[in-house]
Amino acid sequence: MKRITFCVLFFCAISISGFSQGKEIIKVETNDLIMIFSASKNENVIFEYWGDKLNDASVFVSKGFRSQPDSNKDSSPQIFPAYGGKLYLNPALRLTYHDGVLTTELEYVGMDKKTLDENRIETVIRLKDKIYPVFVDVHFVAYQKENIICQSVTVINDGKKNVSVENVASSYIPLHAQSYYLTHFHGTWAAEMQLKEEKLTPGVKIIESKKGVRTTQSESPSFLLSLNGPAQENSGEIYAGSLAWSGNFALSFEFDERGMLNILGGMNPFASTYHLLPKQKLQTPEMVLTYSSNGKGQITRNYHDWSRKYALQHGDKIRPIILNSWEGAYFNFDEKTLTDMMDNAAKFGIEMFVLDDGWFGNKYPRNGDNAGLGDWQVNAKKLPHGINYLADYAVAKGLKFGIWIEPEMVNPESDLAKKHPEWVVKSGARDILPMRNQWLLDLSNPLVQDFVFNTFDQVVSMSHNISYIKWDANRHVDNVGSDYLSKENQTHFWYDYVKGLYSVYDRIRAKYPDIEIQLCSSGGGRLDFGALKYHDEFWASDNTSPLNRIFIQYGSNTFFPAIATAAHVSTSPNHQTGQMLPLKFRFDVAMTGRLGMELQPKDIIGDDYEFAKNAIKDYKLIRPIVQFGDLYRLISPYDENGWSSLMYVSKDKKQAAFFAFSLKYHDRTTFFENKLNGLDPTKNYKVTEINIKSGHHSFSNNEKVYNGDYLMKVGLGMNIGNPFDSSVLLIEQQ
């Protein structure tokens, strides 16, 4: 790690034979980054360095000794500090042994390194307690091209007695600098992923969720850590992490008395003691890590490249333009409502129709959110010809067809709740607390896992023309408890629920590798790399207002790519905020992600109709750039000037799509000017304004050719001074 080199107190020339004198240097490398650890048998493994690649790591063989006050114990940071010895920091690991001993002291046993493929190298560093037969394997998978390192930990009980895991992190990162600036994300329903940056002060900053489900709705397990100043877009040292886990999490940033920052990330230890039986192991989720010495823009591009290839389904395939039925129909529809929407969608050039909530339930019909959830049969009154009729109708119109499910949940008013009360999460004899008029099914139970898988299977089997599933999850865990787990293992619920969910996902993807699945949880309530790897896209927020979406998508796209960001044009006034915003502004914001519509298309009439058709056509023109290109953020909406801009650049730098937005009124004495980024400075580019409304151009030099060097050093000006003005430019190499 970049700032831990203070541990090397002196330098002396040393031959390579120093490696054979008891100290081993362990390197975890990507194309541009390196982590370095030093290890000696039966001693601590020391975390020496993480940052840009070094030419020579042999200096770490002669590491100096740094003692604690009033002690001769080396206080150099360990690779994975357990509670024991003279550790006073929050530990990465805390165990309780069968005899009541609360401390653990880990020593180095050995290391294994293997090449998984041409791009991935796995390193496993094995540790063992000095007394008890407990092993801790620290895993690193280094993705060479993407400069991503995924770290996880396995705790192995190799003895004959039980061991209780009180807490175990996925990663530990020690940093040393003059100051630390943390960027984290917070929010609520309809306001997810709001960015907050703060200077850390001595003490401990904890970011955590104990919600069990929808754990990212209010907090996020993703962070940026900038050294010696606030995070900049194109300069400065930034460390980043994102926990791939869909359950409770905790991030700890401990600024200690030595001036070091100790970062822990992993599952939340709240009420989660896990009892390991003899020969049993516990595997943590991965912490997805990266570093940049050139600002947070490169951090984002690392995550996007990695996600498209390794943490997203079908990350190399263009995403379709979708009309989702929810805000256009809600629960109040019949077959004609839906077929009329499909007719109009096809006229606009939309490529998929998705039927949202309200299509199921007979004894307890789903005419609102208070009944029917769990009874996954087609509502015969609303849809007498069934789902297959609708799916076939869509395909005949040139559309693909998708459908909504929420299989983890159940309404009290349902056949399922009355037939299987033992499947519901509940705390003994206490009341089961409803949220959104529904209860949570217990996915720690294999029978419930089977039910959820079978629900997906049966829904998809209703028509061979179903090619998309919107998977929702609309409540938290409260009054936790499981009829399936023993009374001794109730604290296993938080871990076993998520593992049960992932087991269902694995089974679904094994049977349905080609189907598209949207990750939705009241909007952005399950936005993490653990769940995203099973899905094609995510619903960032139920708030479709473009003014709010600019901020929500700015936060979300810091880690998660545009190809996976479902961004829909909705009606005006907006159903969540009541804001009345121009149709062009609504389209331009949605075009920065995976474009869709969330309205009744017959309501778009007159000039707006022609504009919407042309906007969809223009999006198809720039879609490959947006979905596969590199993101360059230019002006943050969090800046106080009231503008926001960004651009996507194709990998070969031959094309770019530029977006600019005015978020407030700018008086006549101010004007918008913006330097671009990511282009080839030696090439010439034609700049063309697209998605133009009523012949009004915001860019006066339309189709003019500029040198890439000029565009990045001087920039372009646009007339977007009024509230909710916006501009989209297509930039093409000549």
DSSP string, 9-24: -------GGGGGTT-E
Residue 70 has a pLDDT of: 56
Give the C-alpha distances (Å, rounded to integers) separating 529 from 152, 221, 261, 271, 477.
14, 10, 25, 24, 20
- Annotated catalytic residue: which of 357, 542, 618, 725? 542
DSSP 544: -
Residues 125-150 as b/e (b if ≥16 CB within 10 A, e otherwise) read bbbbbeebebbbbbbbbbbbebbbbb
Burial class (CB in 10 A: 0-12, 13-18, 19+), 118: exposed
Does the bond joining 573 to the residue before it have cis omega, within 30 degrees of 0? yes
The answer to whether 52 is a known catalytic residue is no
Q: State the DSSP code for 27.
A: E
Residue 68 DSSP symbol: P
CA 90/CA 181 separation, integer angstroms = 20
**Integer Cα distance of 615 and 632 in angstroms:** 23
Query: Exactly one of 129, 472, 528, 618 is catalytic; which is it?
Result: 472
Instruction: Note the pLDDT of residue 68.
Output: 57
Q: Which residues contact residue 234 at a Cβ distance below 8 angstroms, ignoring those fewer than 6 apart?
A: 294, 295, 297, 677
- What residue has token string 């179903």? 466
Beta-carbon contacts of 695 under 8 Å, excluding residues fewer than 6 positions away, are: none
Q: Tell me the backbone φ, ψ of residue 501, rounded to 5 degrees.
A: -60, -45
Per the rule left: phi > 0, alpha: psi between -120 and 50, beta: everything else, 645 is beta
Q: Please classify residue 686 by burial: count the beta carbons closer than 10 Å to its beta carbon, then call 0-12 exposed, 13-18 middle and 19+ buried.
A: middle
Q: Distance between CA atoms of 80 and 96, rounded to whole angstroms?
A: 17
Rounded mean pLDDT for each run of 10 residues along the chain, 734 residues in total: 39 33 90 97 95 90 58 77 90 98 97 98 98 98 99 98 98 98 98 98 98 98 98 98 98 96 98 98 98 98 98 98 98 98 98 98 98 98 98 98 98 98 97 96 98 98 98 97 98 98 98 98 98 98 98 98 98 97 98 98 96 98 98 97 98 98 94 97 98 91 97 97 97 98
Residues 6+ apart with CB under 8 A from 606: none
Sign of the alpha-carbon torsion through 516, 517, 518, 519:
negative
> Can you list the domains of the chain with their CATH numbers?
80-298 (2.70.98.60), 322-628 (3.20.20.70), 632-733 (2.60.40.1180)
Active site residue 667: no
pLDDT value for 577: 97
Give the integer Cα–Cα distance in Å for 686 and 733. Answer: 6
Q: At what angle do helices 583-590 and 607-628 cross, to 10 degrees?
A: 20
